[in-house]
Structure 1
Amino acid sequence: MSQPLSTGSTTNAELADRYGRKVDYLRLALTSRCNLRCVYCMREEHAEVVAPRNELSVQEVGRLLEVLAGMGVEKVRFTGGEPLLREDIVELVRLAKSTEGIRKVAITTNGLLLDRYADELLEAGLDALNFSLDTMDAQRYAEITRRDLYPRVESNLMRVLGHPGLEVKVNVLLMRGSNTDEIGRFVELTRERAVTVRFMELMPFDDHQIWRTGRFLGADKMLELLRQHYPAIESVRGTATEYFSFTLPGYRGSVALIPAFTRNFCSKCTRLRVTSGGRAMSCLYSREGTDLRPALMASDDGAALRELLQECVHQKPRDGREAGDGAPRTSMSEIGG
């Protein structure tokens, strides 16, 4: 069992936890609102956790990014809910790109509004986009999302996949008895395109809908199914999150498995999450978090905000199991993906 490091080495210029993991990646949920009601995330009547008027403002986001960049954060991902529901999303991407020290700006989206924002986001400097899509069947899409909008989503996916210079990943949450028969269809997206398709585990933040109904499919079973379809897959080194990463001979893209629930990658976690209401969460499974709002609104030099961020990261657990499985939130939209 690893032991916490001394906190004496942490300075205002760095953000590191007790286990020596340097935090260099911010996942900022811009809103808890969403325009879909996926069966593994939200009930149709899901109540807003943070009202739009209480979401972090552009000014607060700018202050947070500036302070975090000064502490070593280099990558920012805007999440939700659905981040494109923020009408100032282009301004926020432009702000992040202009922040000294931020090297990469990304968005995770369900793709519904990309026809409205894609060109402006690219002009603003967006580096990467994760496109959440669990099926390429129109009827099944309506069943999963409770919205009959697949043609628009498919069109938007093809649009961004064809854009040179934009790093695109397609996130597919696999559920037993639901969409596992589409593994091959998704993998084939990587044949002619430099895209990464990532198959993900179901998480226990689903508004108490389907988590305990036998839909969970672990990464080990995903790997078994993947090898059945594609015996020639070759293991490659992926990112810290992409615990299992593969390529196929002759294919331009890659495939990865994300063990989000079984949590194989916790030892390499360098993330800090901030909710749309301004609470910093050192772990996806953290229960309370640290309220940054007062410090974000203060007129000081950022010292109080830096101190809060250091305290939050210092409490980062060794892994998600240490943080606890019984997190009280009911939906991933409350903390961001």
Structure 2
Amino acid sequence: MSRTEQNIPQLEDRFQRRITYARIALTRLCNLRCSYCMREEHESGTAAAMMSFSEVTAIIRALAAMGIKKVRLTGGEPLLRNDISDIVLAAKQTPGIEKVTLTTNGLLLDRHLDRLLEAGIDAINISIDSLQPKRYQAIARRDEYSRVKANLDRLIGIGTVPVKINVVMLRGVNDDELGDFIELTRQNPVTVRFMELQPFDDHQIWRTGKFLGMDKIRERIFSLYPEMEELQGSGTQYFSFRLPEHKGSTAIIPAYTRNFCNRCNRIRITAGGTAMSCLYEKEGVDLLQALRNEAGTDESRKEALMHCLRECILHKPEDGRKVKDAGSSAGTSMSEIGG
């Protein structure tokens, strides 16, 4: 890092929270249509609407210069980008970035896994909401269970990259599979994370009785496994558990019923290049306009991006839930905001 970069003020909001973690949505596109995320007919644009490789990497360099240490690449489905491994490699080679991770539905992992490993990916989260093929198809609206499960098994078998399995819990849909998912931790060093439904589902099933809260999930886990040991959690993975003799662990992500705003260290970049200081924010700051309007050197483009990032974080709310209660967010689906 140059002396100039060392003197750049770090990203810190009005409430003295240091921003060190960026979630970057690389596309709005997705090859599944999960019932809790996206309507079948959802208009998510075209591949041409994605940020270019140079735009993504320019944003990552600006974020790193301002103290971002961890980058998570999301979507939509990030593996729909043919340059995903190149983006991972570029992020890993960016001074200041210490960790690069990926969240995927796993469908295309067989196409990209070898190159992702070569690029140095630090961890991979795979979303899979049922271990029953027909039920998986009903939730995802695509008959792709066999391919996703095979990709998950291969990733776990390689054993060189930490794996988390994300499971959105839906009352009366897949909540009878808690034990099946927890059994994955017996022989595999994975973390199975049961996640609450969030109110970003493209106006589909939110408030239709499918929500299953953290307390109910925890109650059912301990009913199945009274010997479950509670661990010290952190961040959004606040509730963590482990069974004796199991190689992996279990966690609950209380995405809706618990408020983590007081220690939020995140900034989000949407697939459209908008910087969002909060998941529930109505508007953000357009990075691409600044990037595309700045015709100067790479350094001047970085300065323009950093100005926008400062402006974004300046408006970060102390409590995002109050923003939510005041009105809808900028996106109707997590694919719009960055899952």
TM over 0.5: yes
CA contact (8 A) 2:281 2:330 kept: no
Partner of 1:74: 69
Aligned residue type for 1:135: S
- Equivalent position to 1:19, from 12, 15, 33: 15
- Equivalent position to 2:139, from 131, 141, 144: 144
User: C-alpha displacement at 1:336, in angstroms?
Assistant: 0.8
Matches within 5 A, 1:200-215: 200-215=195-210
Matches within 5 A, 1:25-64: 25-48=21-44, 50-64=45-59
- Equivalent position to 1:287, from 282, 290, 301: 282
Pair 1:312 & 2:307 matched: no
- Equivalent position to 1:127, from 122, 130, 133: 122
Moved over 3 A (4+): none
| Aligned-pair identity (%) | 56
- Equivalent position to 2:245, from 247, 250, 254: 250
CA contact (8 A) 1:193 1:252 kept: yes
Partner of 1:4: none
User: C-alpha displacement at 1:322, in angstroms?
Assistant: 2.0
Deviations 1:160-202 (A, max 9, x none): 1112220110000001001111001111111111111100000
* Distance in 2 between residues matched to 1:225 and 1:296, nearest whole Å: 49
Aligned residue type for 2:314: H
CA contact (8 A) 1:246 1:256 kept: yes
* Distance in 1 between residues matched to 2:264 and 2:249, nearest whole Å: 22
CA contact (8 A) 1:282 1:289 kept: yes
* Distance in 1 between residues matched to 2:233 and 2:246, nearest whole Å: 16
CA contact (8 A) 1:62 1:95 kept: yes
Aligned residue type for 1:215: K
Aligned residue type for 1:55: M
CA 1:302–1:328 in 2, change beyond 3 Å: closer, same or farther?
closer
Deviations 1:31-54 (A, max 9, x none): 000000011111111112x43212
- Partner of 1:160: helix, strand, or coil? helix
Matches within 5 A, 1:225-264: 225-264=220-259
RMSD (Å), alpha carbons: 1.3
Partner of 1:3: none
* Distance in 2 between residues matched to 1:292 and 1:75, nearest whole Å: 19
* Distance in 2 between residues matched to 1:121 and 1:239, nearest whole Å: 27
Partner of 1:5: none
User: C-alpha displacement at 1:294, in angstroms?
Assistant: 2.3
* Distance in 2 between residues matched to 1:317 and 1:232, nearest whole Å: 40
- Count matched residues: 326
- Partner of 2:158: helix, strand, or coil? coil
* Distance in 1 between residues matched to 2:12 and 2:47, nearest whole Å: 32
* Distance in 2 between residues matched to 1:133 and 1:56, nearest whole Å: 27
* Distance in 2 between residues matched to 1:296 and 1:254, nearest whole Å: 42
* Distance in 1 between residues matched to 2:336 and 2:236, nearest whole Å: 21
Aligned residue type for 1:315: H
* Distance in 2 between residues matched to 1:44 and 1:313, nearest whole Å: 34
Aligned residue type for 2:274: R
User: C-alpha displacement at 1:328, in angstroms?
Assistant: 5.0
- Partner of 1:302: helix, strand, or coil? helix
CA contact (8 A) 2:279 2:329 kept: no
